[in-house]
Amino acid sequence: MKVNLNRSRQQHPGSKIIGTMLVMSLLLYAGQLNATSTIGSALWATPEWQGYTDKDGSGLYNQMLEAIYAPQNIRIKRSYVPWNRALRLVQSGQADMTGAELKAPGYLYSRHPIIENIEVIWFKKSTLPNWQGLESLKGLSGRWILGYTQHMEKDLVRYLRGQPTKSRIKAAMLVTKDRADYYLDNVIQMQQTLDAIKPVPDPSLYRKQVIKYDRLYWLFANTARGKALRAIFDRRFEHLYCSGKLRELYQRWQMIIQYPRLEIDCAVHLSAPSDTKSGSEHSP
């Protein structure tokens, strides 16, 4: 029997497709690797927040970003601006990152939340003698820092009436002077604000009430740089979480109440090779 050798050597119809997909995958991988390997610095837009983003380089967020990006030889440049401006700079791509915030359109955000946020109001007991849930806020006028409610969920915002202020201390002081009914903030920054008020308000006259629990994320510009920086952030954040080093940072800055509870397969991260700059910058 005569065998057609040319026919037997013909390429399988699906092999061209497989080959094309393999080439595309290699190109995508190379693109990701090149994007991260060419980043020498990243611009972080943020307000100065005590215990988070202090200008001397201390604070939870400062040290968290250092732990994430320093092993990749990426230097973080800080631009201190008001919160609304920080959000605009990242959304427009003029800055690479900011945080922490609720998920919002127009941004890339981290794979995991970095903060378990507790929203609290502070008010005079005489103003709200019987708390009956968010319905109790109807008819009241509150105060909060400028930009604070911008990305809050609608199911909470619809109960809020009042005005933003340029300072947290001013927001709290307006409550003490009966010019506002309540002051809204997260539990950590509210306590920092109340500790700074002079004269110290009589605690027997006031009450704090938790009104919402939120999960806040790190935001990135929706650009090639933003995608590359997010890939590094996600991988390193998981590594720090699983190694226990992230928890140590939250404890050091007395933010353990905001430490995120995550579902991560830490066995994978702890068994992986150490995360160094060479050969480890692509997204997992």
Q: Where do the structural domains in the chain lie, given as residue ranges?
A: 33-114+216-271, 116-214
How many other CB atoms sit within 10 Å of the CB of residue 135?
Answer: 8
Q: What is the dihedral of CA 186, 191, 194, 195, to 10 degrees?
A: -150
Tens-of-pLDDT digits for all 284 residues of the chain?
Answer: 444 444 443 444 444 444 444 444 444 444 444 445 589 999 999 999 999 999 999 999 999 999 999 999 999 999 999 999 999 999 999 999 999 999 989 999 999 999 999 999 999 999 999 999 999 999 999 999 998 998 888 889 999 999 999 999 999 999 999 999 999 999 999 999 999 999 999 999 999 999 999 999 999 999 999 999 999 999 999 999 999 999 999 999 999 999 999 989 888 766 666 565 533 332 22
Q: How many residues does the chain have?
A: 284
**So what's the pLDDT on residue 59?**
97
Looking up tokens 């699983």, which residue turns up? 242
The stretches of the chain forming alpha helices (DSSP H) are 5-8, 13-37, 60-69, 83-91, 154-157, 168-176, 187-196, 224-243, 245-252, 266-271
**So what's the pLDDT on residue 155?**
87
Of 77, 101, 106, 71, which is closest to residue 275 (Cα–Cα)? 71
User: What's the CA gap between 269 and 282, in Å, rounded?
Assistant: 15
Q: Do domains 33-114+216-271 and 116-214 have the same CATH topology?
A: yes
**So what's the pLDDT on residue 186?**
95
With left for phi above 0 and alpha for psi between -120 and 50, is residue 56 left, alpha or beta? alpha
User: What's the CA gap between 281 and 276, in Å, rounded?
Assistant: 8
Q: Decide: 51 and 60 in contact? Cβ < 8 Å.
A: yes
- For 217, the 3-state DSSP assignment is strand
User: What's the CA gap between 100 and 102, in Å, rounded?
Assistant: 7
User: What's the CA gap between 174 and 168, in Å, rounded?
Assistant: 10
How many other CB atoms sit within 10 Å of the CB of residue 185?
Answer: 24
Query: What CATH number is given for 33-114+216-271 in this structure?
Result: 3.40.190.10
What is the architecture, at CATH level 2, of domain 116-214?
Answer: 3-Layer(aba) Sandwich (3.40)
Structure-block tokens of residue 258: 């905001």
**So what's the pLDDT on residue 151?**
82
**So what's the pLDDT on residue 109?**
97
Of 148, 208, 149, 141, which is closest to residue 181 (Cα–Cα)? 141
User: What's the CA gap between 257 and 146, in Å, rounded?
Assistant: 24
Report how far apart the first and last C-alpha atoms of the chain are (Å, whole number).
53
